[in-house]
Amino acid sequence: MQTDSSFTFVLFGGTGDLSMRKILPALYEAHRAGGMLADSGKIVAVARHAADRGEYIQWVNEHVKPHVSKNGVDETAWSSFLERIEFVKIDLGNPEDFALLRDAVKDLPGIRVFYLATGPSLFVPICRALASVGLNENARIVLEKPLGYDLKSSNAINDAVGEIFAEEQIYRIDHYLGKEPVQNLLALRFGNALFEPLWRREWVESIQITIAEELGVEARGDFYDNTGALRDMVQNHLLQLLSIVAMEPPHSMDSDSVRDEKLRVLRALKPINPLDIGKVAVRGQYHSGVIRGTAVPAYATEPGVKPNSTTETFVALKVEIENWRWAGVPFFLRTGKRLADRVAEIVVNFRAVPHSALGASALRAGANRLVIRLQPNETIRLYCLAKQPGEGMNLASVHLDLAFDQFFREGQMEAYQRLLLDVINGRLALFVRRDEQEAAWRWVEPILNEWKASNKPPKPYAAGTWGPAAASAMLAQHGTCWLEEEN
């Protein structure tokens, strides 16, 4: 991907964890690849925890290098990458400091990208301060999640930011949309005649979408205890993945065509009756347990977590889409912390053949299945039945693999790298539009409100397991199970 797009990339929260682990490593990889970033492009880090550029570069050397290429750092490329970086010391709580930023970028070339790798409470003050010094022109603004705490607070942020930046200037980032298998899901569906006729209620029995983490809340206890898994993962990541899986074919891959179809899915989500929430929504909280031989503490004893906290660290949902393509097909969504494995995957379970002349084995569950693995290894695997060698018609499950790292010789692009390049080059298709976000919050809110009103504690589960037993029971009621339970 060659580009001549000159840019000035301003990174707020320049010493923060997200900048160190994801944003700067992604920009370095694009720089190292050659041709992805215009030679004139500059990175301006904004923070108050470094005294000057020299100290900031020392910080970057110490904290960013461990998170870059698996093959190690190319010292020549690293040295030239550091030459792109400038630093401005700013107190974000003092709007007058933004004049320093204005002076630092006024003579730098190209489109200005402002990446807000900060807490959401700073989004509006930063945007207003940028406007006060005239930096909202010829600019794009990138907003990290979470964007608000509920529909009301999300709208308040969007309203305030929208007074300063036009919608086409606003890039609400969801890094799962930048993952290679998600992009390949679109290619498989809309580039091949094989899948599209099967991608509907007549041939799909159920769909599972899982984002599981082995880690706990780490150093984010204060944030997480006021957020929980439903806000942190379901409202954005899981519903965005669901909309990609279930969307109708767009007439083109331009930004609004893709996002229009995703929005139609979100608006077609069947509202959950508060009386049914106990049947279709499971919330859990991890207790102490063992993960890969290491004992880990209970959520309630993690640093920053309130004693006797009722915040959920696990959510499983049964979701339905009220349209002709998907009516009656259950979508099972699941996410949690301190689970048995780190995995993100989409599982499409196709219906068994209506009649088998080959015996009962041709009717068994899991024989016809598509598994799209997003992490840790990005693969797409199609399961089908084949005859076992030897006498008789004995069938066995086999699979066809698309392992990207083996099939394509060039290295895969990480999600943040793809998304940052899209911001620089003005491509909005993989970013969340405001009406999408509102539709997601509108669907999630009744669940949040019912959980708050009922005041029932989350169901406990031991760290290192796959969550509360109720999540498995919910699927059993529909004659199915989670993928790892079947295996």
pLDDT tens track for 244-268: 999 999 998 888 999 999 999 999 9
Determine the Cα angle at 418 with ends 349 and 12, to 5°: 120
Mean pLDDT score across all residues of the chain: 91
Q: Among 93, 363, 340, 329, which residue's Cα sits nearest to residue 207?
A: 329
User: Which residue has 């080059």 as its token pair?
Assistant: 425
pLDDT of residue 2: 47
Task: State the binding site.
Answer: 48, 91-92, 145, 175, 179, 213, 232, 337
- Pick the range with the lowest mean pLDDT from 76-85, 116-125, 360-369, 430-439: 360-369
Q: For the chain, which domains are there?
A: 7-144 (3.40.50.720), 177-345+434-486 (3.30.360.10)
Tell me the mean pLDDT in the region 270-298: 94
pLDDT of residue 39: 92
Contact 132, 124 (CB under 8 A): no
pLDDT of residue 410: 64
pLDDT(409) > 70: no
Cα 487 to Cα 484: distance, rounded to the nearest angstrom: 5
Confidence of residue 337 (pLDDT cuts 50, 70, 90): very high
Is 451 in a helix, a strand, or coil? helix
Which residues have CB under 8 Å from 306's CB, separation 6+? 225
pLDDT(42) > 90: yes
From residue 195, give the alpha-carbon distance in Å to each of 63, 154, 344: 44, 37, 22
Contact 63, 31 (CB under 8 A): no
E strand spans, 270-342: 281-287, 289-291, 294-296, 314-319, 331-336
Confidence of residue 1 (pLDDT cuts 50, 70, 90): very low
Determine the Cα angle at 441 with ends 221 and 415, to 5°: 65
User: Which residue has 């954005």 as its token pair?
Assistant: 236
pLDDT(356) > 80: no
DSSP at 249: P
Could you count the other beta carbons within 10 Å of the beta carbon of residue 142? 22
- Pick the range with the lowest mean pLDDT from 19-23, 329-333, 390-394, 461-465: 390-394
Tell me the mean pLDDT in the region 5-21: 93
Task: State the binding site for substrate.
Answer: 175, 179, 213, 232, 337
Q: Higher-confidence residue: 13 or 386?
A: 13
Q: Among 116, 118, 158, 111, which residue's Cα sits nearest to residue 5?
A: 111
Determine the Cα angle at 200 with ends 199 and 201, to 5°: 145
Is 446 in a helix, a strand, or coil? helix
pLDDT(3) > 80: no
pLDDT of residue 272: 92
pLDDT of residue 448: 94
pLDDT(344) > 80: yes
Is 460 in a helix, a strand, or coil? strand
Annotated catalytic residue: which of 237, 287, 355, 478?
Answer: 237
Q: Higher-confidence residue: 298 or 391?
A: 298
pLDDT(240) > 80: yes
Q: Among 329, 330, 343, which residue's Cα sits nearest to residue 375?
A: 343
pLDDT of residue 407: 66
Q: Higher-confidence residue: 248 or 146?
A: 248
Confidence of residue 4 (pLDDT cuts 50, 70, 90): low
Tell me the mean pLDDT in the region 386-403: 77
Task: State the binding site for NADP(+).
Answer: 48, 91-92, 145
Confidence of residue 34 (pLDDT cuts 50, 70, 90): confident
pLDDT(408) > 70: no
Instruction: Find residue 460's DSSP bridge partners.
Output: 285
Task: Examine the residue annotation and report whether 237 is marked as an active-site residue of this protein.
Answer: yes
Q: What is the largest CA-CA distance in the chain?
A: 82
Q: What's the pLDDT tens digit per position in 421-457?
A: 999 999 999 999 999 999 999 999 999 999 999 888 9
User: Which residue has 């929005």 as its token pair?
Assistant: 263
Instruction: Find residue 317's DSSP bridge partners.
Output: 281, 333
Tell me the mean pLDDT in the region 170-191: 89
Counting beta carbons within 10 angstroms of the beta carbon of residue 271, is it exposed (0 to 12), middle (13 to 18) or buried (19 or more)? exposed
Q: Where are the alpha helices (DSSP H) in 238-396?
A: 239-246, 255-268, 277-280
pLDDT(339) > 80: yes
- Give just the sign of the alpha carbon dihedral 112, 117, 120, 125: negative
Cα 332 to Cα 321: distance, rounded to the nearest angstrom: 12
Confidence of residue 361 (pLDDT cuts 50, 70, 90): low
How many percent of the chain have pLDDT more than 90?
Answer: 71
pLDDT of residue 365: 54
pLDDT of residue 193: 87
Q: Higher-confidence residue: 402 or 376?
A: 376
pLDDT of residue 363: 56
Q: Among 145, 143, 150, 147, which residue's Cα sits nearest to residue 444?
A: 150
